[in-house]
Amino acid sequence: MGMHIDGKMGDVAETVLMPGDPARAKLIAETYLTDVTCYSSTRQMFGFTGMYQGKRVSVQGSGMGMPSISIYAHELIHDFGAQKIIRVGSCGAFRPEIELGDIILAQSASTDSNMNSLVFKGMDYAPTASFDLLLRAYQVAQEKGIKVKVGNILSSDSFYGDDPEEWKLWARHNVLAVEMEAAALFTLAAKFDRQALAILTTSDNLATEKAASIEERETTFEKMATIALALAD
């Protein structure tokens, strides 16, 4: 029904987890959900719907970057009626005390992208997470004894930028970490009066130059998934 997502209205749950990697979407569905159906495999950007503790949840790959997540999130909202979209992904931390595997809840997302700048005619919109989802995610983390940091993150258009020092400008203004999708997701959710949050696992640290292996990155999503799935209702 969407141009990039198969299926029809009703195939997607009100709560959708969005990992960047479609293989991760499959793994989350297989690991945590029961009664799973795959509603879309267009471009191998898989989407699944199943049950988690009696609640219906979908998991949809977003791809990397703000243009990609914008296409999928727009269709989830506009064509499938998604109400809550929770990005689950990785980030590069800016502070030395943030360890690999630590969880960051994005309260707001600054950006070096021009996407919003064009929409808002050069004025400066502040992409913000849903307070309701943020509060509940924080409470779930507290209940489960999962350490989280909450704050501003950077959604960047480049992974391999030209200026290796540029992140320090953001770090000096208390931005915690960089990823590549949240600012667009928060803006889109606000436009359609839906809720969005980004829950991020630290996969690398720009201050200490530590990085998790591909294998570690694939296995450290348990805390993130546990928090995200608890937000379904």
Catalytic positions, written as ranges: 204
| 60 binds ligand HPA per the rule CB under 6 A | no
**Residue indicated by tokens 């294998």:** 215
| 204 binds ligand HPA per the rule CB under 6 A | yes
| 109 binds ligand HPA per the rule CB under 6 A | no
- Describe the crossing of helices 22-32 and 222-229 by its angle, rounded to 10 degrees: 70
**If we measure between CA atoms, which residue out of 233, 217, 230 comes closest to residue 19?**
217
| 166 binds ligand HPA per the rule CB under 6 A | no
| 75 binds ligand HPA per the rule CB under 6 A | no
Which of 15, 156, 195, 220 binds ligand HPA (CB under 6 A)? It is 156
Q: By C-beta, is 6 or 157 nearer to ligand HPA?
A: 157
d(CA 144, CA 138): 10
d(CA 15, CA 137): 14
Supply 197's token pair.
């949050």
| 63 binds ligand HPA per the rule CB under 6 A | no
Which of 57, 73, 178, 196 binds ligand HPA (CB under 6 A)? It is 178
d(CA 45, CA 4): 9
Residues that bind ligand HPA (CB under 6 A): 90-92, 156, 159, 178-180, 203-204
